[in-house]
Every structure is written in structure tokens, then in C-alpha cells.
Amino acid sequence: MIRLNHIQTGAPLSVVVGKNKDRAFRARFVDNANDSIYYVYCQDIFNDLDFYAGQKLTVDITVSDRLYRAESRISGKGGSRKGYETVAFELLSAFQEQKRRAHDRYDFQVMTNIFNYSDIAENDYKGSFICDSVSADISKGGMRLLANRKLEHGDNILYTLEFSVKPGSLFSIYAIPARLVRIARSVSVFSSAYDYGFIFDFTQRPGDQEKLFNDLFELRLTGALR
């Protein structure tokens, strides 16, 4: 269980509302008044508050890689708090930890450059460029890639994968050492390629793992990932 005063301002929330749980919104936690009333920034709900007021909803939040869920009710306007125009939520049940896969996997298609691994941190652990590829899915623990180039496979071989979770943003470019653990052939009417499974190695940059997870979680809230 997690208490409201343990949640940081700006933490992303997933909000599901409607009789059939058919409306999903992204939101952010702003503040709490006590152990049961908290304030959320969600422009979609705020804009149609007369319709949503009094409705029950399910709220998900991830804290330190753990998923928590609570049932809540929309109370009304929460006022201006910390620069946000908020909606007031009332807890109907505490945020309880949910069972989940060790690493949620998302559909994720983005160009990914494959490099030989280098021990030089200043070069982002990138050695010589090998080839480009396209990702098929991604998780906090690894990545599946499609490439036309055959890669060497061995216990002592590392590669560095460079990609952007949010293309166009300089703050979401990752260069992560990774180990190749699976090779298959992928043949379609358009091309013939190798289907690779990589496991990330965050030994050199442990902080990147949590940052990557947060970026993926925010993309899921926007509906950009499935």
C-alpha cells in the first residue's frame, strides 16, 4: 500500500472512468489535503467536470517500478494548486500494489542504431557503427529488433543500442549496452530480415533503467504505446 503523502507532485497517473470503464485519460498527481482527498491535473476531465462529477474511477500509478491501483470518486474542482487547475478526487480504497510482469512489454517501432560495444563512457559506450534496425517491441529489460545485417552471437559479446523513446527530443535519446540472447529469421513479402532479442545491461548506467521506464510509462498514458 502507498499513502497519498508519499506520491510526488507531477507523478503520471492513468485514470479510467465510465460505467463500462470505457474512458481512459492521462493525468498528473498534484497534491493531497489529507489521507483521502487528493488533487489531480487532468485537462480532459476538468473541461467536462459537470459530466464527470460524482463518478467513480480507477486510478493507476507507478512508484519505484511498482504498480498501485485505487478506486476513487471525482468530487469537483480542486482549485489552483502548484500552478495547476486541479480536479479533486476522493479515495474509496487505498492504493494497493498490483501483481504485474517483471518488465511490461510494449509495441514500439523506432529506428535503432546498433554499434559494437566500447568501454569508453565519453562515447556513450558506442564503438564502430554496425547497422540500423527497427524495433518491434521494448520493455524496461530489453528490446526486440529487426535488421538486415547478421550479428555475431556469444556470451562475451556486447552491443550498444541507440534509440529515442520520443523522437525529436534530445532528452530521450538512449545508448544502452545490450546482450544478444535470441536470433530468428523474419521473412515477409517486403523483406527478409533477422529478428533479434536483446537484454539491456545497465551496469555502467544504472540510472538509465528507471528513466527509461518512466518514459515508457508516460508514453503508455498518452496512448502512444500498447
Does residue 121 share a domain with residue 40? no
Torsion of CA 205, 208, 210, 216, to 10 degrees: -150
Do 127 and 212 lie in one domain? The reply is: yes
d(CA 9, CA 38): 11
Q: Mark which of 47, 65, 97 sits at the end of a domain.
A: 97
- Residue-wise pLDDT tens for the chain (226 aa)? 899 999 999 988 888 886 656 677 888 999 999 999 999 999 989 999 999 999 999 998 877 767 889 999 999 999 999 999 999 999 999 999 886 555 567 788 889 999 999 999 999 999 999 999 999 888 878 999 999 999 998 878 999 999 998 776 667 899 999 999 888 876 554 455 888 989 999 998 888 888 888 888 777 666 555 5
Output the pLDDT for position 191: 56
Both 65 and 141 in a single domain? no
With a CB cutoff of 8 Å and minimum separation 6, the contacts of 70 are 58, 59, 91, 92, 93, 94, 95, 96
- Furthest-apart CA atoms within the chain: distance in Å: 61
Q: What is the pLDDT of residue 17?
A: 84
pLDDT value, residue 12? 87
Domain residues for the domain of 56 are 4-97
pLDDT at res. 126: 96
Beta-sheet pairing, 173-187 with 159-164: antiparallel
What pLDDT shows up at residue 42? Answer: 92
Residues 73 and 109 in one domain: no
85 contact partners, CB below 8 Å, separation of at least 6: 41, 46, 77, 79
Same domain? For 50 and 147 the reply is no
Residue 120: what pLDDT? 93
Q: Are residues 166 and 113 in the same domain?
A: yes
CATH number at 18 reads: 2.30.110.10
Number of compact structural domains in the chain = 2
Which grid cell is 47? 473541461
Looking at the structure, tell me whether residues 69 and 119 fall in a common domain: no
Provide the pLDDT for residue 22.
63
Residues 127 and 216 in one domain: yes
Write down the pLDDT at residue 204.
87
